[in-house]
Amino acid sequence: MSSQTKFKKDKEIIAEYEAQIKEIRTQLVEQFKCLEQQSESRLQLLQDLQEFFRRKAEIELEYSRSLEKLAERFSSKIRSSREHQFKKDQYLLSPVNCWYLVLHQTRRESRDHATLNDIFMNNVIVRLSQISEDVIRLFKKSKEIGLQMHEELLKVTNELYTVMKTYHMYHAESISAESKLKEAEKQEEKQFNKSGDLSMNLLRHEDRPQRRSSVKKIEKMKEKRQAKYSENKLKCTKARNDYLLNLAATNAAISKYYIHDVSDLIDCCDLGFHASLARTFRTYLSAEYNLETSRHEGLDVIENAVDNLDSRSDKHTVMDMCNQVFCPPLKFEFQPHMGDEVCQVSAQQPVQTELLMRYHQLQSRLATLKIENEEVRKTLDATMQTLQDMLTVEDFDVSDAFQHSRSTESVKSAASETYMSKINIAKRRANQQETEMFYFTKFKEYVNGSNLITKLQAKHDLLKQTLGEGERAECGTTSLLNITLCAFS
């Protein structure tokens, strides 16, 4: 029959079922492998991080020690040189102050990098090893729970297998009982047909007791088979119901496992991993950020000192330090000879005319000299301004050298930049020294001019005073000077 060929045989069903179970078991095993691999990757990561931070801590300590040594080398030099009196007050000078602050910053950096070492060794690494412990412990516990989940799944599928087999058995028995019943019914029918002929014969030839007992027998058998069939059919129905209910339960359990439990299992493995790792990274970040803040504070102190580099104030400090060397000497006094009672310029005749002449010569000479020297001073000022512009050019920004993102991996050399290229430096220095030379030439010229002016001015002023007094002594209403000035003009 065609319908017969469609039926799966018991063996086929069992084989299919077993294949399906095997597949699930394989998946469960693979899931554990995946979790294990994930845990192993984490342990590897944690180990790498520990190794990394251990080595980084070492590097920080080396760096810290080198900086400490560097600072100490110069600090001890300073301490020993301070024993000399002259050096003692050097720190009052602004460039020395900057230098001391650079050393101070070096010590600060040294301490901060030592602190970094301390935090990496005694905090970050400790945390990482604890997270490793946690990963191992949580994987173990999660696996325990996972195994229990898997056992539960297998128990459910085993139960399904059992109830399916039971259903198969009762259904087979039900079929067999049915066919037996059908056979009995056929026999009865056959007997009935026979006895129908017989009855007609009996009506004609009387009953036969043998045949009556045979019919009874067949009926009894049929009843028995009917009962057996009903019983088996009920059993089969119950078994099928059980199978169907278990099927639903099994599918629900498997579905729950794949949709929720596996995810929960991974959560168990993950428990706190990300949070603890985040705290570890944040400890590292906190250390690095704080190092940076400390560094920044120190740099700000230096920058402030650089802002306060002041040649004028330093000059006064130096002149104060060498006070007796720079204080002006006593004035030369007039030394009268042998009781000479005249101790002022005498402007009486016969020298008066000569002095007046001299005074006017001085006056006109001074006027010329002052104009000339003022010209020199203007040139000097302009040259100084040019020099100042050269000396204060803002050529110190090296931020280009730190551009990672914009440039490729290779860092530009700071020396290759325009502001520090050798040709540029040479040009700039040549230019600067030329200007400087010109400045000094002009400065000498100016000093000579002003020296001459100073001396002539002193004589001029003294003559003016003397001649003025001479005039006042004569009680004239018009100044002698004015008269002569008019006469000369």
Of 376, 438, 395, nearest to 430 by C-alpha is 438
> Which of 136, 247, 367, 483: binder of its own copies (CB under 8 A)?
247
Q: How far is the CB of 378 from its own copies (least distance, A)?
A: 17
Q: Is 22 in the site for its own copies (CB under 8 A)?
A: no
Q: CB–CB of 481/468 below 8 Å?
A: yes
Q: CB–CB of 301/105 below 8 Å?
A: yes
Residue type, 297: E
Of 367, 356, 366, 361, nearest to 468 by C-alpha is 356
Q: How far is the CB of 320 from its own copies (least distance, A)?
A: 12
Q: How far is the CB of 21 from its own copies (least distance, A)?
A: 9
Q: How far is the CB of 122 from its own copies (least distance, A)?
A: 3
Footprint of its own copies on 316-355 (CB under 8 A):
318-319, 322, 324-335, 337-340, 342-346, 350-351, 355
Site string for its own copies, 284-303 (x = CB under 8 A): xxxxxxxxxxxxx--x--xx
Q: Which stretch binds its own copies (CB under 8 A): 187-195, 197-205, 208-216, 457-465?
A: 457-465
Of 118, 126, 47, 128, nearest to 287 by C-alpha is 118
> Which tokens go with 19?
């294949």
Query: Which CB, 151 or 189, lies closer to its own copies?
Result: 151
Query: Which CB, 198 or 277, lies closer to its own copies?
Result: 277
Q: CB–CB of 418/424 below 8 Å?
A: yes
> Which of 39, 50, 114, 191: binder of its own copies (CB under 8 A)?
114
CA distances from 470 to 61, 143, 166, 352, 460 (A): 87, 123, 154, 9, 15
Footprint of its own copies on 61-100 (CB under 8 A):
62-63, 66-67, 70, 73-74, 77, 86-87, 90, 94-96, 98-99
Q: How far is the CB of 379 from its own copies (least distance, A)?
A: 16
Q: CB–CB of 366/453 below 8 Å?
A: yes
Footprint of its own copies on 173-192 (CB under 8 A):
175
Query: Which CB, 183 or 292, lies closer to its own copies?
Result: 292
Nearest-angstrom CA–CA distance, 25 and 11: 21
Footprint of its own copies on 365-424 (CB under 8 A):
387-388, 390-399, 401-402, 404, 409, 411, 413-415, 420
Q: How far is the CB of 242 from its own copies (least distance, A)?
A: 9
- Cβ neighbours, 10 Å, residue 322: 11
Residue type, 267: D
DSSP 246-265: HHHHHHHHHHHIIIIIHHHH
Site string for its own copies, 419-448 (x = CB under 8 A): -x----x---x--xx--x--xx--xx--xx
Site string for its own copies, 251-270 (x = CB under 8 A): xxxxxx-xx-xxxx-xxx-x
> Which of 279, 365, 370, 464: binder of its own copies (CB under 8 A)?
279
**Residues whose CB falls within 8 Å of the CB of residue 24, separated by 6 or more in sequence, listed in order:** 153, 157, 254
Q: CB–CB of 114/60 below 8 Å?
A: yes
Q: How many residues bind its own copies (CB under 8 A)?
A: 209
Angle at which helices 209-256 and 125-205 cross, to 10°: 160
Footprint of its own copies on 215-244 (CB under 8 A):
234, 237-238, 240-241, 243-244
Q: Positive or negative, the Cα torsion across 75, 77, 83, 87? A: negative
Q: How far is the CB of 150 from its own copies (least distance, A)?
A: 12
Nearest-angstrom CA–CA distance, 61 and 253: 58
Q: Is 45 in the site for its own copies (CB under 8 A)?
A: yes
Query: Which CB, 99 or 192, lies closer to its own copies?
Result: 99
- ∠ CA 240-241-245, nearest 5°, is 115
Q: How far is the CB of 211 from its own copies (least distance, A)?
A: 37
Q: Is 276 in the site for its own copies (CB under 8 A)?
A: yes
Q: Which stretch binds its own copies (CB under 8 A): 138-146, 187-195, 369-377, 478-486?
A: 138-146
Query: Which CB, 20 or 431, lies closer to its own copies?
Result: 20
